[in-house]
Each structure stands twice: as C-alpha cells, then as structure tokens.
Amino acid sequence: MTESDGIPLGELVTFVVLLNEWCDEHLQVVVISSDFVRACLVFAQQSAQASGATLVSPTESDFSNLSLHEDYPSSVSSLDDSPPHLISKDEAMYYYSGISPSPPKLVYRTGLSTTPWVKPKGLEAYRQLKEVRGVYGHRINAAWEEVGPQVLDLLTVQGIRWSSIDLARFVTDGGSDKQIVGPVVIWIGVLPDSLEGPQAISSSEAILILLKSFGIEDVEVEYRESIYRPSVGPELLRHVSSVNDTVDVRSPLTPTLCLPIAAADRPDAQGTMGLYFAEGGASDKVLGLTCHHVLFKTDATNNNSYALASNTSAPRKYVQLLGTRAFDKLLDSIRLRIGRHAIMLGQHEDTIKRLDARLAGVDEDEDDEEVADARKELRQAKEQVIAVNEAIETLEKFYSDVKKNWGVARQCVIGHIRVSPALAFNVGPDGFTEDWGAFEIDGPKFAKAFKGNVMDLGTEIPSDVFALKMYPRDDGPTTFKYPSDRLLPLRDMISQELMRRPDMLDHDNEHCLIVIKSGNATGVTIGRATGIFSFVRDDDTGMVSKEWAVYNYDKNSGVFSAPGDSGSIVVDGRGRIGGLLTGGAGKTETSDVTYATPMPLVVDKNDIVGTPSFASATPSLPCPIPTLLFLHRKLALSGSGYK
C-alpha cells in the first residue's frame, strides 16, 4: 500500500491504529485482514472527500444514529412533559450514554431538581458521555457495612424488584479535556418495567433519610433497569499434546500448575499459583496456594493478615488469572509464534519455486536419484506449506479468542481470597519465613480441564535435553523419566532430611538435588537445590529468616527464577514437593539465588489426600475461616478430572 492509493500512508496507518484500539476496547475485534484494511482505505478516501469532514469515533457515530424523538417508554414516565419529579423519555435513554456499548435506561434519580438534565443539542449530543467509577475515601465507605443491609431491607419492605445495589460515581465529559465528577450514587438496578413513579420516590426518600441518620447528606439515589446475571468468565483450557498448534502458547490458560495470577485490585503485581488444596472436612471446595505478598502489598508499613469474614455480605478480594504483564506476554508469545511460522512459510514457498524450476520439463517416468529426491522434497515442502498455513490460521483464531475472552479483567477472575496470614520471619522453632495465602477456586471454570496437581514441563526445553539435565551422571539411578504427555504428577514431599542429604550424586560423586519449577515469569526451569538452609534478611524490617536456597543450573541455562515466580512450587524429578518459592537474591531483576520455604513447614505430609470434586452445592464450612488451613492443610495431589 502506497501513497498512490490517494491518502498519505502515515495518515492511513494512524487511522488503522486508532480503529484497532477502539475495536479492542469496544468490539474486541483483534485481527484485521488485508481486505479489512482495504475497506478502511475506501472509507478514509470517502471521508476525506467530504467538505471539512473529520473522523468520528464509532461510539459517537452509533450514538448519533439514535433519534432523540424515538419512542423509549420509561418505567416511571413515558411523557416528554412529565412532572418535574419524573424523568423524560429522552433523559431515560441518554442519561447513562457512554458507560457501556448498550447503556441501561435511567428509571429515577433523586438529583432531578438540583442537577436537571439538559437535552444535548448539536455536537454536544455526541460528546457528553459518561464513565462509571468506583467510590473511595468517602464517608459512606466506612458506613457501608451497616448502611448496605438496611438499604436492602428498605427496598424489600417496599416490594421493589431490585436486582443489584452498587456504589458509584459518574464522570461526564465536559469538553476541552475536562471531566465533571458527579456525586456518590447508590445505584440500584431494578427489573424492566417494574418500578412506578410513587414507589421510586418514596423508596428514594426513605434511603436519603437513612443516610442522614449516619451523617451522610451528599449521596444521591439512582434507579436503572437491570437484570442480574452471574458473570461467568471463560473456562480454562485443556492441556494439549505437542501436535496442537497452540501447545507453545496456551499453558498460561490451562489449570496445570504455574497459573499466572494477580490480586484483582493489584493487576500489575503478579505471581504464581503453586498448588491446589482440598479444604477438607465435609467441604468439596478447592483452594489455590500462593504467597501472601502476591495477594497483598507487603512492606514495612503494609503487612496485615487477611481472613474472609464469616459474614457472607462482606466484600470479597478477588484473584484473577493473568495480570497486566502476563496478559501482554501471552499475546506477544502468540504473535511471535505466528511470525516464526510466517518466516518458515516464506522459506517453504521459496523451496517450492526452486524445485518447480528444477523439475520443469523432466519426464514423469525419469527415476534418477536426484530427481526422486527433488520430487520428495517438493512434496514435503507443499505439505509443510499446508501445515504452516493451518498453524497460522489456528494461532490467529487463538489470539482473537484470548483477546475476547481474557482481555477484560472481570472475565479473568478465578476465585477469591480466603485466608492469608501476614508475612512473618523467623517463624516457629525452625525459624523459616511464613509467606503464603490461599484463595478459593471458582469450580466451574476449572472443572472440565482439571487434572490435579500436575506440572506441565512445557516445550522450551527439549525432552532429551531435559532428561540429560535431570541425570547428573550416566551411571546413577534413573530417578526421572520424562512424561510422554509432559505432565509431571506431584506425589509426595521432600523431607528436610532429604533436603540436607539428597539421594542423588553428581559427576564429582557429591550429593546433589536437581529441582524443577514452573513459574509465571521464567516458565519451566531446572536448578540445583542446596542442603544447608540459608539466612535471609528483609531490608525494610531487618527481620531474619532461614530459607531453602536453589541455585541456577549452570552458566548456560539462565536463571532459575525472577520476579513474578513467587508462589511457584519447587519439585524434584520424582514429583516430590520441596518448597514454596518466596523470593530471590541478586543485584538485577533476575535472581542469582532463589529462596523457598520447605513445604513440610507449610503442609503436613500426613494430610495428603486425593483430588476433591467441585459439586454444584456448596456445603457449609466445618470450621471458622481464620483457622481453616491450620486445621485442614490437605493437598489435592492427583486426579483425572472433576466429577
């Protein structure tokens, strides 16, 4: 594409980039084909021919197609000349424009008299869009635990068919890069056509009186039409064999160990989920194990224990798959894989051209060895072209699916935090670090693909190289066998005694313990564990603890871990669990030494149980949440899928 097409190439590229960004945000369209780019070119040419025409965002364009006089009946009023305490149909339709591609209809709001809605005219009709924000630092935040349930009771007593109750602020585009921040709103969703004017007014007044009793007089009440639907995100993907075209990139979306996770309120602070736990007792719930500092900001001034309150109305702290960087890393890996296939495609096509020329005019009956080899190579090259094209097509679809299904944070939520003791040093008689947290897994997202506690050894390290690294000497016992499906099942634990004196010898006839970990940041790596526990000191607090140290395998193998790998599980070649990776030491971002808390100090070896199932009904908890893991430290160590 050149400037001879009628539009400067730079302007066209800018237009396509902007269009891509809008599609990513609003339509989740990912891959733009050459045909689509050509269609964009035609659109841009037509727009440029219009006198004084400027590009308008699709949101604005869609909004402009709505007629201000279109019939839009309101639950409260369907008349344009409605009383001052009711809303017009235009306000009902346009009030929430901008907060979503299909904004809800306003039913009633208490701020009608103090902040009347002005029907937009001209260009304003396309510019005054809203965004919805959370509420922080307001007086109602501290009182909401008491206020919220009472609001619920008021609505129920008045027979209002509400579907959701939220706290929100709305920010309106005021033009010239200005934003108008509205008041805090108790935002109530009601079923369509279920709320009449008098009922809306009386219930709103009752809520305002309730707020006043708490000394809160700067909060509004708004009703919108809304139907609550459980927001179920996509299920995790199944593990696939090496013949699948997505095998190199799909691991972060499978339930094998090393899930890249982040607290939903801290998506840039990422870590790894190391193990699945059975809650134990009568419960069939499954918990995920990671580090406390992965789930919560932890430093000299922030270090608090957390346990989900037994009151079910308490707000939950959610855990999501794929933090910000992990999501970008996943997309980059797919693009890289597509690019590599494209390189190979070009090479195969060049081979076909060369061999076609070589075989041109050659008699079909000729059986010369060189000709036979050329024909065989040509046939293989054509087969490779077909295979590579199929791989590119599969990966493009996978890229699109990832953007669509996992590009929105709320779709990535895989559970909520249950308990996470504050980070502590020099704990117990052994003096190790206590840095762990557990979150409850969202069963339906895991059920179909779950295989228990298995570690996918990945494809980055070839199986033969992997096996050789796990055998320090060729005359020693073969304790490691590379699994045919790449899945290493976790079966037992490495005792502290075995950590101190491993049952493996290296080339120098010295005891050694070769270990494996799979983490969010560095993937699957192999390292050398130490037999003498190290001491580490936290610079912020000056606290000292012992740790189990793991060194990098050798100078050619790269680092064993890096930031983002915290929460990973360190295992040996037999699948015996060694420790929970908590950190590392080094001058740069990478780690010269990796540290882990020995697993027997986190989980009692005698409490290992089989894989639980996610049942449709959730039984009540057998014990108070704060002591849950101390009473039920049980691992789900094997399984063939949830029932």
Q: Do 50 and 93 share a domain, yes or no?
A: no
- Taking the CA atoms of 201, 206, 211 and 217 in sequence, report the sign of the dihedral they define: positive
Q: Is the pLDDT of residue 315 over 70?
A: yes
Q: Which of 366, 384, 408 is the last residue of a domain?
A: 408
- Token output for 367: 């059986």
Residue 312 pLDDT:
61
115, 181: one domain: yes
Q: Which of 382, 408, 434 is the last residue of a domain?
A: 408
- Answer yes or no: is 137 within a domain: yes
| pLDDT at residue 252, rounded to an integer | 73
Amino acid letter, 391? A
Q: What is the pLDDT of residue 370?
A: 87
Which residue carries 């002005």 as its tokens? 118
On the question of pLDDT at 240 being above 70, the answer is yes
| Domain co-membership, 103 together with 196 | yes
Residue 125 lies in a domain: yes
- Per DSSP, the residues of 95-156 read TTTTSSSSPPPEEEEGGGTTS------TTHHHH--EEEE---SSHHHHHHHHHHHHHHHHHH
Beta strand ranges found along 325-464 (DSSP E): 413-420, 424-427, 432-434, 437-441, 454-456
User: How large a percentage of the chain has pLDDT more than 90?
Assistant: 14
Quick one: 45 and 135 in the same domain? no
Instruction: Kindly report, residue by residue over 90-122, the tens digit of the pLDDT.
Output: 888 888 887 665 678 899 999 888 888 887 766
Nearest to 166 by CA among 222, 111, 247, 205: 222
pTM: 0.58
- Same-domain pairing of 108 and 50: no
**Of 172, 188, 180, nearest to 220 (Cα)?**
188
Asked if the model's pLDDT at residue 57 lies above 60, the reply is: no
Same domain, 218 and 346: no
Residue 131 lies in a domain: yes
Does residue 573 or residue 87 have the better pLDDT?
573
Question: SS3 for 339?
Answer: helix
Strands 413-420 and 306-307: antiparallel
> What residues have CB less than 8 Å from 547, skipping those under 6 apart?
432, 433, 533, 534, 535, 536, 582, 583, 595, 596, 597
Residue-wise pLDDT tens digits, 422-462: 988 888 888 888 899 989 888 778 877 787 888 989 888 99
- Please check whether residues 113 and 217 belong to one and the same domain: yes
Do the domain assignments include residue 121?
Answer: yes
Per the rule left: phi > 0, alpha: psi between -120 and 50, beta: everything else, 454 is beta
Number of domains in the chain: 3
Last residue within a domain, chosen from 225, 252, 277: 225
Render pLDDT for 115-168 as a digit per residue (tens, 0 to 9).
888 877 665 554 468 776 666 578 987 887 788 878 878 888 888 887 777 777
Per the domain annotation, does 441 fall within a domain?
Answer: no
More confident residue, 251 or 519: 519
> What mean pLDDT comes out for the span 220-240?
66
Are 330 and 391 contained in the same domain?
yes
Instruction: Check whether residue 158 and residue 40 sit in a common domain.
Output: no
Of 516, 598, 599, 529, the closest CA to residue 565 belongs to 516
What value does the mean pLDDT take over residues 566-593? 81
At 231 the pLDDT is: 35
**237: nearest Cα among 401, 387, 389, 482:** 401
378 lies in some domain: yes
pLDDT for the residue numbered 214: 94
3-class SS of residue 379: helix
Do 110 and 184 belong to one domain? yes
Task: Let me know if residue 51 belongs to a domain.
Answer: yes
Burial of 296 (0-12, 13-18, 19+ CB in 10 A): buried
Range of the domain at 337: 325-408
Are 205 and 141 within one domain?
Answer: yes
Residues 32 and 123 in one domain: no
Is 384 a domain residue? yes
